[in-house]
Amino acid sequence: MNLHTPRICFFPGLGCDHRVIEPHRPIHAAIEVQEWIQPRGNESLANYSRRMAERIDTSTPFYLAGISFGAMVALEAARIVQASGNLRGVILIAACRSNRGIPAGYRVAAWFAARSPIWLVKLAKIAMPHMRRLFGIREAADVDLFESMLRDADPAFVRWSLRAVLEWPGATRVDVPVLQIHGKRDYVLPLRLAGPVDVVIEGAGHAINISHASEVNRAIDQWLIERE
């Protein structure tokens, strides 16, 4: 890796894996995907994020980035790794900064899902692809990616994540720059509840990193240039 190439540690979204990060490979940075680890019982999002943070190489300068649920983990992890002195900033995509960013209707649905038996969560996964338009996904290739990740998602992890997010009071302030990118038509985590957003992308829904990847990447590249 070139010494002047920014390094980004990327957390995928809920029910997603390394494939959801692929649209961001054109960013002028070295991207390291943080694979999810198994939660311990009913541990909090803060404690889970601490364990994720312990897996990050903090010996050289780096950025944290996350998509939706992954952005929440990135915020919590930032509190831990900023002590290294090498954290340069945090990038939040389609995110909110506490459970108050989740609309009431989704909060109720998540509450029931978080307390449902695994078989019911598996059944819900089957229905999720039919909600792709809610996420702003329309292109055939994007639909295929969305559906394949849903099929492979661990229902136990999904159930734990929903409970952890509902109980998440939000991360305390981090002492590094934060870039928050959001879609104007995000109906899952609405813009009005997202907190201080820096870049709003017109026509983009919740799956902004898939449907509007080039615009997200351009915003990140510009921000990195200003930081480096």
31 phi and psi angles, rounded to 5 deg? -100, 130
Which of these, 131, 154, 122, lies nearest to 206 by C-alpha position? 131
Total-model pTM: 0.86
CA 120 to chain centre: 24
Rounded distance between C-alpha atoms, residue 108 and residue 162, angstroms: 11
Residue 47 has pLDDT above 90, yes or no: yes
Lowest mean pLDDT among 32-36, 109-113, 134-138, 177-181: 134-138
Q: How confident is the model at residue 119, as a pLDDT?
A: 39
| Mean per-residue pLDDT, 124-140 | 56
| Mean per-residue pLDDT, 134-157 | 66
Query: pLDDT tens-digit profile of 156-191?
Result: 888 888 888 888 999 878 899 999 999 999 988 999
Q: How confident is the model at residue 159, as a pLDDT?
A: 82
Residue 107 has pLDDT above 50, yes or no: yes
Residue 153 has pLDDT above 80, yes or no: no
Q: Are 146 and 129 in contact (CB under 8 A)?
A: yes
> How many other CB atoms sit within 10 Å of the CB of residue 196?
8
Query: Does residue 144 or residue 54 have the better pLDDT?
Result: 54
Query: Does residue 124 or residue 150 have the better pLDDT?
Result: 150
CA angle centred on 205, ends 156 and 159, rounded to 5°:
10
| Mean per-residue pLDDT, 99-119 | 70
Q: How confident is the model at residue 206 (pLDDT cuts 50, 70, 90)?
A: confident
Residue 41 has pLDDT above 80, yes or no: yes
Residue 226 has pLDDT above 80, yes or no: yes
Query: Does residue 85 or residue 125 have the better pLDDT?
Result: 85
CA 152 to chain centre: 17
Q: How confident is the model at residue 88, as a pLDDT?
A: 97
Query: Does residue 196 or residue 121 have the better pLDDT?
Result: 196
* pLDDT, mean over the chain: 85
